[in-house]
Amino acid sequence: MSWKGRKVLVTGAGGFIGSHLAERLVERGARVRALVKYNSLGSWGWLDGSPLKGDMEVVLGDVRERDALKKAFRGVDTVFHLAALIGIPYSYETPQSYLRTNVEGTLNVLQLALESGSRVVHTSTSEVYGTARAVPIREDHPLQAQSPYAASKIAADKLVEAFHLSFGLQVTTVRPFNTYGPRQSARAVIPAVVAQALAGKVIRLGNLTPTRDLNFVSDTVEGFLLAARNPRAVGKTFNLGTGREVSIGDLARKVLDIMELSRRIAVTAERRRVKGSEVERLCSDAGFARRLLGWKPVVSLDEGLRRTVAWIKRNKDLYRPDIYAV
């Protein structure tokens, strides 16, 4: 289905996944309005260096401020809602800020979408499942908030569900498992490993035994696009993952093998999650997305890691490996 000429809004367009999504939409011919959080530096996040930023309408705003968002919704056909606070360790320190951005911000987006008649594709996270009770994890797996961040995203997901059931708003929830790739911040394990490996002889990590299901960013973006254009996806939630899990320790060693480097991996107390908060196992069942949307991941973990390592090497000055990014 063609995106040519479609007017779309991407909230959180300056972020990791949001910037890739905004670029892909431009490439598909959509008229992209990119919402970027205002800051005093005038930065557009990752869109600053995008060769396609001139083909987007970049709007400064904040999803927490409903009145300031109104103009961003004018004439919009589809809203991709990605704006969120995502750092799990930081959510222990400032849970209220996560509620304001992730819950109140989502409420504002839903209310404005209802007024404007826009369809919404909402971004969830595999963290809402907590540690897997059954593997692979299907969309009907129980939700368990093991961090304030996860709690805020569960609340946002339920608001989306409520607006669909109560008001008939056309919404689809996309639940990516651990997306990685170029532009990801050092809060995530792969950039943390690569940046530290380039800078020194020791890789400092938290727990090494938890497993994650890693999905390359271009595959995640394709899932968003397929969910947005399929009328049968309205009111549904879709996992996006590979169905394969890897432990943090094995992942770090795989990254080092790809980099052809020998480094010592050290576990540090600073990087450990709060007891009871660590999600020990994540492994997706994305069969629903495959059957209904025709979605499947195409980039292997090894290939995705090679692309990510190459990008971080070219942009290593953007990372501070001596600082634990929360």
For residue 152, the model assigns a pLDDT of 98
Give strand pairing partners of 7: 31
Round to whole Å and give the CA distance between 2 and 229.
9
Question: Which secondary-structure segment (H or E) carries 121?
Answer: strand 119-123
Could you tell me the pTM of the whole model? 0.96
Residue 248 covered by a domain: no
Residue 112 covered by a domain: yes
Residue 262 covered by a domain: no
Q: What is the pLDDT of residues 172-231, one digit of tens each?
A: 999 999 999 999 999 999 999 999 999 999 999 999 999 999 999 999 999 999 999 999
For residue 50, the model assigns a pLDDT of 96
Helix ranges, the chain (H): 16-27, 66-69, 88-93, 95-98, 105-116, 148-167, 189-199, 217-229, 248-259, 287-293, 301-314
Round to whole Å and give the CA distance between 11 and 64.
12
Residue 109 covered by a domain: yes
Looking up residue 126, the CATH number of its domain turns out to be: 3.40.50.720
Residue 73 covered by a domain: yes
For residue 1, the model assigns a pLDDT of 67
Residue 51 covered by a domain: yes
Side-chain-facing half-sphere of 70: CA atoms under 13 Å: 4
Show the domain range for 73.
Answer: 7-181+215-240
Can you list the residues of the chain whose pLDDT is less than 70?
A: 1
For residue 276, the model assigns a pLDDT of 85
Catalytic residue among 149, 180, 319, 324: 149
C-alpha gyration radius of the chain = 19
Contact criterion met (CB below 8 Å) for 189 and 248? yes
Question: Which secondary-structure segment (H or E) carries 246?
Answer: strand 246-247
**How many domains are there within the chain?**
1
Round to whole Å and give the CA distance between 297 and 58.
30
Residue 78 covered by a domain: yes
149 given a catalytic annotation: yes
- Tokens read off for 254: 């795989």
- Tokens read off for 81: 């809602």
Residue 77 covered by a domain: yes
- Cα distances from 70 to residues 59, 65, 112, 279, in angstroms, run 11, 9, 7, 37
Question: Mapping DSSP to helix (H, G, I), strand (E, B) and coil, where does residue 272 land?
Answer: coil
Contact criterion met (CB below 8 Å) for 147 and 109? no
Residue with tokens 């727990």: 207
